Chains A and B, each alone.
Chain A
Amino acid sequence: MLKKALLHIRRNKLKSFILFIVFFLMALLMTFSFIMKEDGTSLKNIITNSLDLRMTLKGTLTYGVYGTYENYLDEYEKIEGLKEELNDSDYVKYVYQDIITAPGYITIGKNLDDTDTMVSYNTVRNENTNDEISKNMPAILNEIALDNLDDLNNIVREKRELGYNSKKYEEYLKDYSLDVTDEIGILQYRQFLYDMNTKIGPDVLEYKNTSYYKMYLTSDLEDYNYIFFYNGDTELQSECLGIDSKESLEIKEDVDIVEGRNFTDDEIKNGARVVIIPINTFMVDKDGYNTKVEVGDMIPVTIHNGLNEYMTIEYEVIGLHDGIRHDDGYVEFEERNFNAIAYNVNNSFNYMLIFPENTLIELYEEADKFRSENDLPLVNSVNVYKDEIYVNPRDYLSLGDLVIGFHNFDDYAKVVEMIEETIDPLNEGHEEYQRDYHIESTIDDYYQIAGTIESNQRLFEMMSYVSLVVVLLLMILVYIYQIKRRKEETALLISLGDDKGHIYNTYFLEYLMIGIFSYFLAGISSVFLTTAIKKMMVDQNIAALSKANDSIIAYYEGYLGFDSYHIILILFVSYLLFILIGYGISRIVIKEGN
């Protein structure tokens, strides 16, 4: 059969070539349309994801939202089941509310205008007022000046004594007042961050999600000096999870320590160089090779300023935890962690390191002492970093910035309007230069591009489906024509005793072979064609940007790479259809013939 099919192709070069061209053009049209359609979506996503709606929200609104909005939404949908209930715009609104009304926390630090060191307590979200953003906007309830570590510890202690009742604590804060006499100079800022690291291995480039503590050892007035005590839960119970002994015990109840042990009472009380780390933490060396960290391993925590390492303290890994999870899959701690809320909620806590509070304080004291004795620059950070536990932080978006990525490009304007409504009252009475709340964006350019892409995409979408139908119809017609054209040959073969099914299978095999070849070439041609067109479009779009930045250009360049998986899938599916339909026609013709 194969021999005969090949013979027919070989001896009928012109006819086969015409058939090839027909198939080729059909496949080209189809793959081209599909690729352009899919890439339109990709390009739009790229632009959407590269958008930053940046707002400088000074004061106490210290939320940063990173990553793609889409990632967050995915997680949010899982947790809240909101997908069914809310449209995209509502999502944005809801998420925005959630960001600014994340569970309360205490801030100890400095006002940005360098006036005072202060303690502030931000309110906890009131779940009954989700739709009223301004109502839920965190506010400074009180300010407490600090002059030394004792003051900080006193606050913690007193808070503890109040039983972590937020209502009581609010009252307590209102009555509390201290004058600033000195800078703190010790722990000012601690924060859980979540990051996406690039890890270059021997063969692959892969990404790893992680989080880290970022600790600034500075009292420089230019820096933000905060400590966050995370609120217990959404029930307005103010608790200090993971930072003092009681909350460590609470973690003991919630965190699933899968290997090793929890802190002992003594370790919590007096501090010890021990740490509980997430399971599946890896040590990464300079070459990108990693080794799993086990209980009993020593983790070096390096204090440095990003350029110079100052000192290293080693901590023994005593336990591996598995994150905190509630029955419904919701990770309670995530919501307390205002940064994590913007990330993969299910993952972020899984990457948290847990130290006893006093151990951390020792670390900060040691680091500060080291800095002072060696007259080192003030802007330092303590990271679990470098060749040990490789948790490479990306630039932290400074406190006071709110960044929202958008899932739906079209929501941008609505959100801006919504935020403006929210911040306008807060800016009231201030001259422009005095205003604490600003929105910064260069959205308009991108908006325009997205519009073009959208209309192109619609065209290609239509083309892709129309071409699919047309191609399949044409294939049917061409195949029927081919069968009819070879009627005499068919009759002769039957007279020789050949089976009709066998005859049509042979014909079909010929078309299959020509089809495979033409599809293959069409696939490759589509890639080149679409790449060329995309490049042209991208160049035009970049040229149209009034403020094209490196990031956008990089995104565009990334976009020029094609998704081979996608193309193969399209070709495979269309070819499969081709085979099925072609074979189906053969069967019908045979049946009718009999």
Chain B
Amino acid sequence: MALLEVKNVSYYYQDGDNKREILKDTSAAFERGNFYTIVGESGSGKTTFLSLIGALDRPKSGEILLKGHNIYEDVKRYRQKDVGFVFQSYNLIPYMTAVENVSLALDIAHLSKKINIKGILAIVGITEDKTERVVTKLSGGEQQRVAIARAIAKSPTILLADEPTGNLDTDTSDFIVNIFNMLAHKMNMCIIMVTHNLEIAKRSDIVYRVDPKIKKLVKDNV
């Protein structure tokens, strides 16, 4: 049994009388220890797919199973413990410091306060002197690192990343991809990253592509 199974999932937007199909009867499976990327044209439904497997949105039909259980059986727990998010625009709480941002996620997940937050921040390259800074005072790359730290601090089984390198320079992007690889291969996480950058996709283990014609995820050999 795969860690995360997407079975016959469809999704559409209702725009007045028009129904705009995004995904149609698509299926996919994701395992621990792999770094997945999802590529596709703009508007093809990559981010929608990520939202669905992150339980931020519900599929119109089909189901998404974590270890055989529908993720909506206990969506709160799923969001708190099983899945971590990294967004293109970082989505940090702007009035909090790096440590507070990570700590907040742990609080929400009801996890021990003994977790070494600064250690986690160090793993993603945030130096000690920057850990107590309000995040708006950090650079874009640093903010994204904090966002990654926040996502991984609670040791989720799945890490979802939506264009995390979209606003970053090449060096920082590389660093983040390296982290993702490390998390997948060393920490046995399931990393699913949406990107339009094929170079980055090449560095992942498995690439999925959203085919705009059939509205399905298909494995791609980049």
Within the complex, which residue of B76, B77, B96 is in contact with A11, where a contact is CB–CB below 8 Å? B96
* Residue in chain B with minimal CB distance to A10: B95
CB within 8 Å of B: which A459-506 residues: 488-489, 491-499
B93 contacts partner chain A, Cβ-Cβ < 8 Å: yes
Tell me the bound Cα distance from A484 to B85 in angstroms: 23
B108 contacts partner chain A, Cβ-Cβ < 8 Å: yes
Closest approach, in angstroms, between the C-beta of B54 and any C-beta of chain A?
7
A-side contacts of B105, CB under 8 Å: 496
CB within 8 Å of B: which A488-531 residues: 488-489, 491-499
A8 contacts partner chain B, Cβ-Cβ < 8 Å: yes
Contact A8:B95 (CB < 8 A) given known A495-B85, A497-B77, A497-B109: yes
B198 contacts partner chain A, Cβ-Cβ < 8 Å: no
B79 contacts partner chain A, Cβ-Cβ < 8 Å: yes
Closest approach, in angstroms, between the C-beta of B71 and any C-beta of chain A?
12
A87 contacts partner chain B, Cβ-Cβ < 8 Å: no
A-side contacts of B81, CB under 8 Å: 497
B-side contacts of A498, CB under 8 Å: 108
Tell me the bound Cα distance from A499 to B77 in angstroms: 11
Interface size class of A (residues with CB under 8 A): 10 to 19
Tell me the bound Cα distance from A492 to B134 in angstroms: 17
| A496 close to B95 (CB less than 8 A) | no
A4 contacts partner chain B, Cβ-Cβ < 8 Å: yes
* Residue in chain A with minimal CB distance to B51: A495
Tell me the bound Cα distance from A453 to B77 in angstroms: 65
Closest approach, in angstroms, between the C-beta of B134 and any C-beta of chain A?
7
| A495 close to B79 (CB less than 8 A) | yes
A554 contacts partner chain B, Cβ-Cβ < 8 Å: no
| B95 close to A7 (CB less than 8 A) | yes
* Chain B 59-102 near chain A by CB (<8 Å), digits 1 or 0: 00000000000000000111111000100000101011000100
| B79 close to A496 (CB less than 8 A) | yes
* Residue in chain B with minimal CB distance to A12: B95
* Residue in chain A with minimal CB distance to B54: A495
A-side contacts of B109, CB under 8 Å: 496-497
Within the complex, which residue of B54, B80, B93 is in contact with A489, where a contact is CB–CB below 8 Å? B93
B187 contacts partner chain A, Cβ-Cβ < 8 Å: no
A-side contacts of B123, CB under 8 Å: none
B-side contacts of A7, CB under 8 Å: 95-96, 100
* Residue in chain B with minimal CB distance to A495: B85
Tell me the bound Cα distance from A8 to B81 in angstroms: 25
B-side contacts of A12, CB under 8 Å: 95
A-side contacts of B108, CB under 8 Å: 493, 496-498
| B80 close to A497 (CB less than 8 A) | yes
* Chain B 14-58 near chain A by CB (<8 Å), digits 1 or 0: 000000000000000000000000000000000000000010100
Contact A11:B91 (CB < 8 A) given known A495-B54, A497-B76: no
Closest approach, in angstroms, between the C-beta of A341 and any C-beta of chain B?
72
B104 contacts partner chain A, Cβ-Cβ < 8 Å: yes
CB within 8 Å of B: which A386-405 residues: none
Most chain-B Cβ atoms within 10 A of its Cβ — which of A488, A497, A498, A499? A497
Contact A492:B96 (CB < 8 A) given known A497-B77, A497-B108, A497-B109: no
| A488 close to B91 (CB less than 8 A) | yes
Tell me the bound Cα distance from A398 to B124 in angstroms: 97
* Residue in chain B with minimal CB distance to A489: B93
CB within 8 Å of B: which A330-384 residues: none
* Chain A 192-216 near chain B by CB (<8 Å), digits 1 or 0: 0000000000000000000000000
* Residue in chain A with minimal CB distance to B78: A497
Closest approach, in angstroms, between the C-beta of B92 and any C-beta of chain A?
8
Tell me the bound Cα distance from A498 to B108 in angstroms: 6
Closest approach, in angstroms, between the C-beta of B133 and any C-beta of chain A?
12
Within the complex, which residue of B56, B77, B93, B96 is in contact with A495, where a contact is CB–CB below 8 Å? B56
Tell me the bound Cα distance from A425 to B222 in angstroms: 121
Tell me the bound Cα distance from A4 to B95 in angstroms: 10
Most chain-B Cβ atoms within 10 A of its Cβ — which of A4, A11, A495? A495
A-side contacts of B79, CB under 8 Å: 494-497
B-side contacts of A494, CB under 8 Å: 56, 79
* Residue in chain A with minimal CB distance to B90: A492
Tell me the bound Cα distance from A495 to B85 in angstroms: 8
With A8-B95, A495-B79 given, name 20 new contacts (CB 8 A): A4-B104, A7-B95, A7-B96, A7-B100, A11-B96, A488-B91, A491-B91, A492-B91, A493-B108, A494-B79, A495-B56, A496-B80, A496-B104, A496-B105, A497-B77, A497-B79, A497-B80, A497-B81, A497-B109, A498-B108
15 A–B contacts from the bound complex (CB under 8 Å): A11-B95, A494-B79, A495-B54, A495-B79, A495-B91, A496-B79, A496-B104, A496-B105, A496-B108, A497-B77, A497-B79, A497-B81, A497-B109, A498-B108, A499-B76
- Where the two chains meet, the residues of B that have a C-beta atom closer than 8 Å to any C-beta of A are 54, 56, 76-81, 85, 91, 93, 95-96, 100, 104-105, 108-109, 134
